[in-house]
Structure 1
């Protein structure tokens, strides 16, 4: 009887410790930096714990009626310290490092979500990590399952032509493209499209002449903005009319949020939207 009592006591202490470890020790006051990070936190059901967000997350600031901080690469320690957060979560684009150092010295926990793969594997790791950090393991499991379902749906869609090119357009007429180890390359890989600019790493300058010579089957476009208007882009950049992809309707805009802070939920959603549009257009398949 005594042995049974001791065993029951030990089991009770074990399960109690598990519950204690699974719960944050203090109420969370979270600042999210990066639209992709903020969206992920909302998907994990901790939107009500946000006390401020950066400027790329403006729609979340409006939704939760919370302060809007500066741009994610140019944060100011004074404004953050005044809000008394106990947790700051952002992508590896968050900075500058001098500000992050000041915040750490003020005993604010900082969680940097790194993106070594630049694809959906990073997103899955972020979901798992935040689920553990915020004691939202069940929400994380549910979200991870949804992500896997979306990936399967994307890869089950019909595909034909696969020579794809991404162009980042600027008001000054300069073009850039995304090589390997970029979020856009991760999106193209997920869609099983061949990235014509993958021979180089990162985002790099590109010329109109090179685009016209390549004549990609699929063309993806984005400006340095969170919102994109494909019709306006085609009018703004006349050279696009010289491409077969444009004439075949195989030209698509990419939401700027999908490219910020590594592969995020918007990256996945845009991949699915674009791949479905390709599948629905016979000109993009033949």
Structure 2
């Protein structure tokens, strides 16, 4: 029994210091209603749970659904602005694992703002675990259980689209600047979605996102080049891709096989992951044909 519950169990009038303690404890036990979501996956889950009215800010990666963009932006997940967060007077921060920098998190800790860190992961089980953790942080576990069941069913249905892709080799390119190809290796969100779609990550021998050599590109023997759908200066055109001799020499280059998907949907590992699996598998089946 909590201190608040013990105080409430008294039938006699409570005054003085006990009344003050009761008020403080009652406030502490209230569900947080000024929440900052850090990480696009977290924000999508909060909206999917129907708890978006409790959000007062979000980070830059939180670009879906469209309504999330109307919230104040407190910076990129790895470069958060503690001042921006403090300015919205939050009573809870729900953050994807890896938010920072550490100095910003130290300031928030000194300000005594509760922070719930949600583990990252790039599997279907990881998506369900995120939903469960976020729903518990929000105090709505029943909603979390219902959403988890729906997402699990959606992921199971999405598997039907992945048939026949076991030999398809996919090279995910994060960026292409000054001739340097930044690709996705093991333990990356890109590898996770490629494997969920039934295909093979063509890059190997390194973890995360790193520049790879022309020799490594040729050795990848990639059937398809996979990119985030971007416009403007961040966008990568087919012409830019295949002006790289090594990329042009791959099966993907010879067949002009390039697939682009919404970055957050593809790499966020949240409530839209089943949609990402179906879209990617369908596109991979069509690429180069």
TM over 0.5: yes
Aligned ranges 1:58-207 → 2 under 5 Å: 58=63, 63=68, 65-115=70-120, 117-157=121-161, 158-160=163-165, 161-207=167-213
TM-score (norm 1): 0.77
Aligned ranges 1:9-24 → 2 under 5 Å: none
Distance 1:106-1:234 versus aligned 2 partners, 3 A rule: same
2:39 to 34, 42, 45: 34
TM-score (norm 2): 0.76
Q: Is the 1:228–1:255 Cα contact (8 Å) retained in structure 2?
A: no
Structure 2 Cα separation of the partners of residues 119 and 41 of structure 1: 19
Distance 1:51-1:104 versus aligned 2 partners, 3 A rule: same
Q: Is the 1:164–1:196 Cα contact (8 Å) retained in structure 2?
A: yes
Distance 1:249-1:272 versus aligned 2 partners, 3 A rule: farther
Q: CA deviation at 1:266?
A: 4.5
Q: Is the 1:150–1:272 Cα contact (8 Å) retained in structure 2?
A: no
Q: Is the 2:252–2:288 Cα contact (8 Å) retained in structure 1?
A: no
Q: Could you tell me which residue of structure 1 aligns to residue 3 of structure 2?
A: none
Q: Could you tell me which residue of structure 1 aligns to residue 259 of structure 2?
A: 252
* CA displacement, residues 4-49 of structure 1 (integer Å, 9 cap, x when unaligned): xxxxxxxxx9xxxxxxxxxx62441111112222112111111111
Unaligned runs of 5+ in 2: 1-8, 10-28
Distance 1:182-1:282 versus aligned 2 partners, 3 A rule: closer
* CA displacement, residues 249-286 of structure 1 (integer Å, 9 cap, x when unaligned): 642124332466x6333544322211122345694xxx
Q: Report SS of the residue matched to 1:121.
A: helix
Displacement over 6 Å in runs of 4+? none
Distance 1:282-1:208 versus aligned 2 partners, 3 A rule: closer
Structure 2 Cα separation of the partners of residues 211 and 68 of structure 1: 37
Q: Is the 1:120–1:186 Cα contact (8 Å) retained in structure 2?
A: no
Q: CA deviation at 1:62?
A: 5.5
Q: Could you tell me which residue of structure 2 aligns to residue 4 of structure 1?
A: none
Q: CA deviation at 1:51?
A: 0.4
* CA displacement, residues 174-227 of structure 1 (integer Å, 9 cap, x when unaligned): 2122222111111122122122224322222213443244332233123xxx73
Q: CA deviation at 1:61?
A: 7.8
Q: RCO greater where, 1 or 2, for CA within 8 Å and sep 6 or more?
A: 1
Q: CA deviation at 1:244?
A: 2.7
Q: How many residues align?
A: 256
Unaligned runs of 5+ in 1: 1-12, 14-23
Structure 2 Cα separation of the partners of residues 282 and 173 of structure 1: 24
Structure 2 Cα separation of the partners of residues 200 and 63 of structure 1: 35
Structure 2 Cα separation of the partners of residues 60 and 191 of structure 1: 23
Q: Could you tell me which residue of structure 2 aligns to residue 227 of structure 1?
A: 230
Q: CA deviation at 1:134?
A: 1.2
Q: Report SS of the residue matched to 2:33.
A: coil
Q: Is the 2:31–2:138 Cα contact (8 Å) retained in structure 1?
A: no
